[in-house]
Amino acid sequence: MLDVLKFRKPGAARDAQADKGEIQVQDVSITFGTGASAYRAVETTSIDIAAGEFVCILGPSGCGKSTLLNAVAGYVAPTTGEITVDGAPVTGPGPDRGMVFQQYSLLPWKTVYENVAFGPRMAGVSRTEAGSIANTFLSLVGLKKFGGRYPAELSGGMQQRVGIARALANYPSVLLMDEPFGALDAQTRLMMQESLLDIWRQFGTTVVFVTHDVDEAVFLADRVLIMSAAPGRIIEDVRIKLPRPRSTDMATTQDYMQARQFCLDTIKAESRKAFAEQNK
């Protein structure tokens, strides 16, 4: 059973998670299909992500970013190699890894409150405790008063905030995010980025965030991993030197602009390779 006390004290919860969420991707490749129709999505790749790090994955379209993330989530099995979280092999989805998708994936027949309480209930938490957890996380994302609404009654940004609250409701040591803000308008996207960083500071969860937006990656991440054109592999590991907490004012600093330009140039070169390969 989950320890509901964790959910009531974000600071204490961060301390409890301080040494959890280490990810190791060891010589992983991922191939779909067999024989002549086989398609290699991810080339042999190794990554070490420390507990509590915020890592963004960038790369040209079709390079395998989401496939690699899904392998960490346990939705896709590596063809070769191994993925571990805190030393335990990933053999399928688990409560130690929360997932947030670009499409909100909320249960439309359940209220916002019920969507967030659903995970703890499935983990064996009592209805009362699950309700307390749901209210805590809805308060955290600023939506407690919308708990009785249904997803269709909310804006896209609000639905994604519910998705984040739901992913955190089992208190995972790893939060996996697959272009979660890609469908939002620019202003809402910026607000969601700032909100996510605030939540991350409070809970200390390891975050692996897939995006195609260079500015988003540089603003959010401790490290930006850049993947090659398909079959994807990590070709650059860019450490972002910006101090925390982050603010939009940093977009004019030299460190920000240098990191942004390096990422843009690297992805542009890989995108050209992919385009040339597709036109052979």
Between 156-168 and 112-122, two packed helices, what is the crossing angle to 10 degrees?
Answer: 20
Per-residue pLDDT tens digits for 212-244: 999 999 999 999 999 999 899 999 999 999 999
Positive or negative CA dihedral for 169, 170, 173, 174?
Answer: negative
Phi, then psi, of 109 in degrees rounded to 5: -90, -5
pLDDT more than 90, % of the chain: 69
pLDDT of amino acid 10: 47
| Three-class secondary structure of residue 111 per DSSP | coil
Planar angle of CA 223, 227, 233, nearest 5 degrees: 115
Neighbours of 256 (CB within 10 A): 19
Per-residue pLDDT tens digits for 127-184: 999 999 999 999 988 899 999 999 999 998 899 899 999 999 989 999 999 999 888 8
Identify which of 51, 57, 86 has the alpha carbon closest to the alpha carbon of residue 203.
51
- The CATH class of the 4-105+172-278 domain is alpha beta
pLDDT of amino acid 188: 86
Per-residue pLDDT tens digits for 99-133: 998 877 899 999 999 999 998 988 888 999 999 99
- pTM confidence score: 0.89
Tokens 């990590």 label which residue? Answer: 234
Question: What kind and span of H or E run contains 160?
Answer: helix 156-168
Beta-strand relationship, 39-49 and 23-32 = antiparallel
Per-residue pLDDT tens digits for 257-275: 999 999 999 999 988 876 6
Break the chain into its structural domains and give their ranges.
4-105+172-278
Average pLDDT of span 5-34: 72
